[in-house]
Structure 1
Amino acid sequence: MKTRSSNPATTRKPLVAAIALSLLCTGAPALAQEEGETTVLDTVLVTASKRSEDVRDVPAAISVIDEQQIENLNANQLSDYADYVPGLQVQNNGAPGLTSVSMRGIAALSSGTTVGTYIDEVPVGSSGLYQAATTLVLDYLPFDLDRIEVLRGPQGTLYGASTMGGLLKYVTREPDLGASAFRFGAGFNAVADGGNGWDVRFTGSVPLKQDRLGLAFGYARNDLAGYTDNAFDGSEDIDSGEQESARAALFYDGDKVDMRLSVISQSTAIDGRAGEAVDADTGGLVFGRRTDQYWVVPGFSKDIDLYSLTFDVDLGATSFVSASSWSKTDTFYAIDATIPFGGVADLLLGLPEPGASGVDYSLDLEKFTQEFRLVSTGDGPLTWMVGAFYTKEDAVQGQFVDLTQLDGSPLPAPFDQIAGVLADLSLPSDYTEVAVFANASWQFTDRFSLGAGVRQSNNDQEYVQDVSAGLLVPLGTTGGTSEEDVFTWSLSPQFQVNDDVMVYGRVATGYQPGGPNAAVVGLPASVDSSMLTSTELGMKASFADGRGLIDIAAYSIDWEDIQVATSVNGVGGLVNGGEATSEGIEMALAFRPNDAWRLGLNASWIRAELKSDFEPVVVPQAGFDVELVSGLGGDRMPYVPKISWSATAEYRFDVGQAWTGRVGGAWRHVGDRVAGTSDRQRVLVGGEVVDEVVTAPLDLRHYGALDLYAGVGNTTWDLRLFLNNATDEKGYSSIDTVESALTGAVAWLRAVPIQPRTVGLQFDYRF
């Protein structure tokens, strides 16, 4: 058996270690949940509009997850808290970082993502087509965050490309310029019928010059407990691994100039993927619960270093903001391709048994971004912002497919030279984007205002496909280029009905960049950007004298020129498909009836489906044509539940001696989903259909899970006990087919279960 993974002990990055060493050398609607607060809900500030505002005043659907909520849920990855945000869908593909994210039913059907990711002022991740952005969304370890802002709906005016579904924005903690503060925490957890995990974290803030200059820093490490066993060799908990993250931020608060210099480094290394084998006909388990079969263990690793520098200059009636960043991301993951390609050994080469095959993917990305903004700061009826944005991505994707004997040894001679390498290719690519944008809002009366925004973007892309060896793809070098101009806009009227109720409308557009295509007969040379227009009506209200908050939003989205991944003779590429619609209603409720109780309810209903059949890809053959269609009218969008909801409750009480206790629980429900769209293959002779095969997408059943926690703490100590998925409910986050690429025979389905029952204990000490 072969293991395709990186040893965590040898892949820990120098930057993580350096920051860690420096630490050792250094002495719902959002509800703030600090100790000793009053019954009235606190004001929560967000920067979704690139200026600090009360979240209740922003005419857009925004959810905020604060530090206390993250701790209560023991949330270490996106899938730990996604079910508590209405309209947010997260697809776990077996490891933290092997993650797909969509919002409001705008699920990516190609390699480009539809949800952007920001850390503070700067974007992370690729906007190009050749970095698998849709399945490799950054899963940031939330150990030193002030909050996570989830912006639902297209953000193309302010945030540009790849935010057509929405935006995830991680806001890190600022240093305290007045006093030193430190925090140390550690924890232990155990997974039912799985392994044990532990974590440790340390954060600090030191004023270097009183009220002027300060340093914030932190380090965290999670050793992740596995729970998937391998039926091939009996190995247990193969999906165990580790995450490390470190950050340092220097902040200067001047009379006229504020400056923030930040360094963030994160490393993830997972031995294998979570999963279990499911019988395609009966739905039963092939090898037992949380057991799969791998001849090649599919490892995963991701390292990211992010450097950013932000200036905010006070010019009087305006402020000038400059946000610069440079990041480097190195990703490796492997898949077991024994079932798809192992038949080459016996069926094509005549060997006595199939071989083992693995596909190694390496994706390296260097990204530079620069944004300038001029922002009004006056108190008049007009507020405005103008800006310019530039980004440059240099990326390389590598793919290596080998074939060995089942035990991992080379094929016997001479077959090791003939078929030992099935494919070896490199895909270097460049992505450059330049944009200018403007936003403004006019307060017509004390109650009514109108906001509008525009953005003009230009992106250039080029790529090269260099195939140096292999049987699966033609050898040689090909390439392509593309250039596009894209215009996006938004319009948002807002009306304050009274002191407690605000209603708003929002019409906004967003886009997913196109780009050059793989050089394959039957595929276009490039694909266009996909565009959408969203119309939204919403209400934000408070009730019960400020003890309750409710947000309601209804939306309708029209999506055109959808980018769709397809395959011709085993080689993948993209086409612009047809159109889709997504309609939905979201609700978020928070209520604090008294000082003791905190209640919450979040719900989402979505109907997202294709309006018509996608455009066919026609592949000429000798004497006939093959027509491929990757989606049919009426298909649901993948991994989008029609109904999802969650309910939370927490009770707080005095223990005595300045200690406060809390107990809480949450139930989350995710509805039925599908794992893709329909595939239709027709054989045409003289333009007439002589054969047709339609393959329906796989179904995923609904699931519900109960999360519980209890804690006690004071201003110095905090102790927490958590029990996630308390009843050990079975549910799947994603599912795929394991089938032969030569015969089409399905071996089994590979499903990724939700996190099993996990119990843990956490403590924190502040000093």
Structure 2
Amino acid sequence: MNAFQPARTGLRSPLSLAIAGVLAWGVAMPALAFEDAAAAEGATDSATTLDTVVVTANKRVENIREVGASISVIGERQLENIGASSLTDFAALVPGMQVQSNGNPGQTAISLRGIAAMSPSATVATYIDEVPVGSSGIYQAANAFMLDLLPYDISRVEVMRGPQGTLYGAGAIGGLLKYVTRAPDLAGDELRAGVGLRTVQDGGDAWNLRLGASVPLQEDRLGLRMSFARNGLPGYTDNQVDGARDVNDAEQIGARVALAWDGEAFDADLGVLHQRIHSDGRAGVALDPDTLQPLFGDHVDRTWQPQPFSKKLTLTSLNLDWDLGWGDFVSATGWSQTETSSTLDATIQFGEVANLMLGLPEPGSAALRYDFDLDKITQEFRLTSKSGAPFEWMVGVFYTEEDALQSQFVWLQQLDGSALPAPYAEMFGTLALLNMPSTYEELAVFANGSWRVGERFKIDAGLRQARNEQWFSQNGDAGILVPIGDFPGESSEDVFTWSLSPQFAINQDAMVYLRAATGYQPGGPNVALPGMPPTVDSSMLASYELGLKSAFAEQRVLLDVAAYRIDWEDIQVAASFNGIGGLVNGGEATSEGVELSAQFRATSNLQFGINGAYNKATLKDDFEPAVIPQDGYDVVLNSGLAGDRIPYVPEWSWSATAEYAFSAGAGLAGQVGGAVRWIGDRVNGTTERTRATAPGDPSTVLMEEIVAPLPLDSYAALDLYAGIGRGNWEVRAYVNNVTGEDGWSSVELISSEVTGAPVQAVAVPILPRTFGLEFDVRF
């Protein structure tokens, strides 16, 4: 054991013992309750049909079985059972969805069907009800800070796979993540309260609190819903440098107020949502850069500077719906403000500036802080026909305006955290101070139509024409790492997307569909760096999908299968030199795969599910190089080579679920279930090739360095849960990652920016074995 690693005891906490008892009782209970349950059902073992699920994927309320697209839904009950607190907790339940954690909730990246972000903007759009959240521009790091909405007061999460550009616009190039909140109850009062505890193996404990109330202010007309939740996330990683333990503990706080009016011909919904995430550190494990084995033991990192993270989101939304008799007019308005701050230890990257460049006796310590501020306004108007007619249509207009600021601050201190000695502190204590204000404005018009021919054939089609205009300025205020001065830039572009989806009903229980669709990831003005283009173009893709949705065995079995091919071009990729990076349009890639999702209700009590995906996502050719002139030679940077895999996309992934519902007499009822999730091997990036060539002559190679991406091994994890309740109360227990499986969610190689030598890798582990106990009461 390393001397800097505190010893861990093998004793189990009282919480874990209590949870183990509840789970054991829940597993045994079905056998004890079988006779009572059978008697309550008339002493039969007949199976019942699976429940109908509705979605709003096409901006209409529809049965998911009748939509010609790949959609997954995770319901409120499922989120509660597994103790979900982050996107990483339920990603495996969606075929083709991958979520990489960078150390905390709110520091996550999402990919769908192999379309992973390789630039600062996201490839998956995020909506809360009718309103998009997060930036459409390229200077708010939307790829790394996807919204991790606290699951409380969420009715369901809808995930649409494949491009959704015609209805959802910018950023939905890979798909859509949509949170649907719970609406006020207009018919009766509801009061809910809950408390919970969570503990992590070899880590800390944390508590949760939630309150919710729904009150009809005018029966069947006006309702108010209020909720508050506090979610504690215990830490489990330690720091080798100062001996600090459980440095990545975090807190989520969410509050929401919603007001709903249901009139004769006019409905209105007003909501205000606020969420905060804060952590004093981030999860990380220091690895040997060659062997990728832990340097100091399991769940031990090495950092010299604190790494706090915080994110605040305030969203106000107003939805108005007029029933015109022959159609509906909808207005969806959103105002959001997002503030994100993330500090990273940069000692390995820049600490050697102190000794190798300034001549001080030893290296220093450094930190890099990113601050992102985003103010976003969105407005959508749409006119839709009534549902149920042979031809259904929708036309609309969408407008968004963003005012954003990104700030970067890099500072250098002595290794113990004190200031550099005079006069170095004043001259070099700030290595970089960079402010990058930006604006993004977009106007789009769209139309969608659905034509039903006879009883079996239907065709959906859509189109969208969008124009965005952007402004940006790179303002270097201080430091030796950035050019001093203001360097503004601007861009504008027109983007057209379309979709076409014919579908054929084989019978009343089976439907086959084709879907062809396009999507885009907006470009924008680029940083002022020699060799970088002044603007980067939009990334575009075209997707072709063949799917089957079927039900059989008297509606007890649901089976969805989809095969797809995606052609992706003008991919936005980051290219960096001497620690400063910009964007280029790299080239092309393809993603091909098959997805399967099945549910089987064996009896009225027992249900199984399985999700699986095969995905092959690779670069078609070498990315376009960036050429950076130097004194006497050129540096030619390639950020990806032909045949490279798309980062963090496994070829194979699957999950299997099972749940048994039971009654135990005396009014007691509950459920016990579990899930196994398996993620195949991945890579953390693409191949980076750096060449030094003769000036103006790329064929004369003076030096070449190739850095291959780091591998991430496959892993499997088992989750279990159980619950029991009666009347208005319920107690639930869960254990996630029961076997304590080790696996990496993300990994990064860290090198010295002064010497170029790799020093260590840092990996973010999957959540270790976690015990949770929750109690809820409703009035």
- Which position in structure 2 is the counterpart of 1:560? 569
Deviations 1:638-665 (A, max 9, x none): 0001000000111122111221132111
Q: State the percentage of identical aligned residues.
A: 57
Query: C-alpha deviations, 1:200-220, integer Å up to 9, x for none?
Result: 101111000000000111100
Q: Secondary structure at the match of 1:296?
A: coil
1:210 corresponds to which letter in structure 2? E
Q: Considering only aligned residues, what root-mean-square deviation do their CA atoms show, in Å? A: 1.1
**1:427-438 equivalence runs, <5 A:** 427-438=436-447
Q: 1:396 Cα deviation (Å)?
A: 0.4
Shift of 1:71: 1.0
Equivalent residue number for residue 542 of structure 2 = 533
Counterparts of 1:715 and 1:436, CA distance in 2: 50
Whether 1:147 aligns to 2:156 is yes
Using the alignment, how far apart are the partners of 1:40 and 1:679 within structure 2? 53
Aligned counterpart, 1:13: none
Distance 1:269 1:305 in 2: 15
* 3-state SS of paired residue (2:472): strand
Match runs of 1:56-75 below 5 Å: 56-75=65-84
CA distance in 1 between counterparts of 2:482 and 2:555 reads 64
Q: What is the CA deviation profile of residues 493-539 of structure 1, one whole-angstrom value per residue up to 9, with x for unaligned ones?
A: 01000011011110000000000000111010001101000000001
2:199 alignment counterpart: 190
Distance 1:715 1:245 in 2: 27
**What is the Cα deviation at residue 280 of structure 1?**
1.5
In the other structure, the counterpart of 2:744 is 732
- List per-residue Cα deviations over 1:125-144 (Å, max 9, x = no partner): 00001000000101000101
Partner residue of 1:123 out of 132, 143, 157: 132
Runs (4+) off by over 3 Å: 35-38
Give TM-score, length-normalised by structure 1.
0.95
Q: Distance in 2 between matches of 1:202 and 1:235?
A: 34
2:609 aligned residue (581, 600, 608): 600
SS in 2 for 1:764: strand
Residue number in structure 2 paired with 1:457: 466
Question: 2:504 aligns to what?
Answer: 495
Aligned mates of 2:729, 2:387 — CA distance in 1? 43
AA matched with 1:198: W
Counterpart AA for 1:293: R
Contact kept? 2:47, 2:602, Cα under 8 Å: no
Q: Who is 1:8 aligned against?
A: none
Residue 719 of structure 2 corresponds to residue 707 of structure 1: yes
Kindly indicate whether the alpha-carbon contact (under 8 Å) linking 1:298 and 1:335 is maintained by their aligned counterparts in 2: yes
Residue of structure 2 aligned with 1:360, choices 365, 369, 373: 369
Of the candidates 377, 394, 403, which is equivalent to residue 385 of structure 1?
394
Q: Is the contact made by 1:601 and 1:647 (CA closer than 8 Å) also made in structure 2?
A: yes
Amino acid in structure 1 at the alignment position of 2:657: T
Which of 758, 762, 765 is the aligned partner of 1:746? 758
Q: Structure 2 length as normaliser, TM-score?
A: 0.93
What's the counterpart of residue 520 of structure 2? Answer: 511
Paired residue for 1:156? Answer: 165
Pick from 460, 468, 472 the counterpart of residue 481 of structure 2.
Answer: 472
AA at the equivalent of 1:708: L
Segments of structure 2 that go 5 or more residues without pairing to the other structure are: 1-39
1:624 equivalent in structure 2? 633
Shift, 1:306, TM fit: 0.1
Q: Structure 1 stretch 656-665 or stretch 182-191: which is displaced more?
A: 656-665
Deviations 1:39-59 (A, max 9, x none): 211111110100100010000
> For 1:354 and 1:515, how far apart are their aligned partners in 2?
38
Between stretches 687-696 and 69-78, larger displacement belongs to 687-696
Equivalent of residue 306 in structure 1, options 308, 312, 315: 315
Q: Offset at 1:308?
A: 0.3
CA–CA separation in structure 2 for the residues paired with 1:386 and 1:86: 31
Question: Is the counterpart of residue 588 in structure 1 residue 597 in structure 2?
Answer: yes
| Contact 1:317–1:378, Cα closer than 8 Å, also in 2 | no
Shift of 1:38: 7.5
Decide which of 230, 238, 241 is 1:229's aligned counterpart.
238
| TM-superposed deviation, 1:715 | 3.5
1:590, 1:258 → 2: CA distance?
Answer: 36
Aligned equivalent of 1:691: 703
2:262 aligns to what?
253
Within the alignment, does 1:443 sit opposite 2:455 as a pair? no
2:429 is the counterpart of 1:420: yes
Q: Provide the C-alpha distance between the structure 1 equivalents of 2:565 and 2:236, rounded to a whole number of angstroms.
A: 40
Amino acid across the alignment from 1:185: G
1:88 aligns with 2:97: yes
Residue 474 of structure 1 and its aligned partner are, at CA, apart by 1.4
**Hey, what's the Cα distance between the residues in 2 that align with 1:113 and 1:143?**
25
SS of corresponding position for 2:558: strand
Deviations 1:666-700 (A, max 9, x none): 10000000000000111212431232211110000
Matching residue's letter, 1:335 = L
Which position in structure 2 is the counterpart of 1:21?
none
Q: Does 1:316 align with 2:328?
A: no
Looking at structure 2, the residues matched to 261 and 319 of structure 1 have their Cα atoms a distance apart, in angstroms, of 18
Per mean C-alpha deviation after superposition, the further-off stretch among 77-86 and 708-717 is: 708-717
Deviation at 1:622, TM superposition (A): 2.7
Distance across 1 between alignment mates of 2:561 and 2:667? 38
Task: Note closer, same or farther for the CA distance 1:623–1:496 as it changes in structure 2 (3 Å cut).
Answer: same
Q: Distance in 2 between matches of 1:531 and 1:177?
A: 44
Q: How does 1:16-35 map to 2 (within 5 A)?
A: none
- Contact 1:179 / 1:206 at 8 angstroms: preserved in 2? yes
Superimposed CA distance per residue, residues 352-408 of structure 1 (whole angstroms, 9 cap, x where no aligned partner)? 111110011110000000000000005321000000000000000111100011111
Match of 2:33 in 1: none
Q: CA deviation at 1:748?
A: 1.1
